[in-house]
Structure 1
């Protein structure tokens, strides 16, 4: 039987190599910066980055608090992350969907990131398509800002640690 449920696919080129992008996906502090489509914000990120490990993202959006949870299904550094995704706001909060993040090296040290979210309920597909696109843009912006800070600090002998914004 073929799964005909809506699938969201978002592709973007990121200004960092795949290993750096991969690590961003498994760093709770980094995720709080870019994982929620603004103006929503991540209140807390907890994850156990191993196959079978759990993840949870507590989110606040326009005064409403909710969470996303899942389990890591595949971790293949630096090329692939796959995890389940459920949202406490969905009509069926126990519904389990699947997110795959593919990271392909491009020229000049960039990465083509492809996010594929499968088995989404039809009534949330468009919202998730916009959300993943915004998240991808936020990640790109954060990586670009980090690269700028790194380039500037390499010229200054006593520059501080990585600045996330």
Structure 2
């Protein structure tokens, strides 16, 4: 089972890639990010709350600056390890962002991530509009 999403963002591929791969880009519900965007490097999204703590973790196995990343993804060591493939293509309006997320074992998990991607990309756009500090690598 897979998710295949396309978004058009009014920012350069360099800015979108920089935000996507930066530990400084914290999009709620995340409270902290820890990202090392190199092949073999890690990805950690951390949610710390008063009632619930959660971590999504993965490893990068493809990194092409400003163009492409691919990494694994697992919530709270659930055993469901999926793969996320993200492409950042130049477009007249900025960036065509394509996310292909594969390897789901349960429809419930796929549905949750499907709506989660829409929310994440919308919040990422707001972050990029409001925060000029994320610079390309």
Task: Give TM class, smaller chain.
Answer: 0.7 to 0.9
Which has the greater radius of gyration?
1
Select the structure that is richer in helix. Answer: 1
Among candidates 31, 53, 59, match of residue 41 of structure 2: 53
Question: Partner of 2:97 in structure 1?
Answer: 113
Q: Offset at 1:44?
A: 1.9
Q: Offset at 1:95?
A: 2.6
Q: Which runs of 5+ in 2 are unaligned?
A: none
Q: Offset at 1:117?
A: 0.7
SS at match of 2:31: strand
Contact kept? 1:47, 1:54, Cα under 8 Å? yes
Instruction: Report how many residues are paired.
Output: 133
Higher relative contact order (CA 8 A, sep 6+): 2
TM-score, L = length of structure 2: 0.87
SS at match of 2:119: helix
Say whether 1:14 aligns with 2:14: no
Task: Compute the RMSD of aligned alpha carbons.
Answer: 2.0
TM-score, L = length of structure 1: 0.73
Say whether 1:26 aligns with 2:21: yes
Select the structure that is richer in strand. Answer: 2
Find runs of 4+ consecutive structure 1 residues off by over 6 angstroms: none
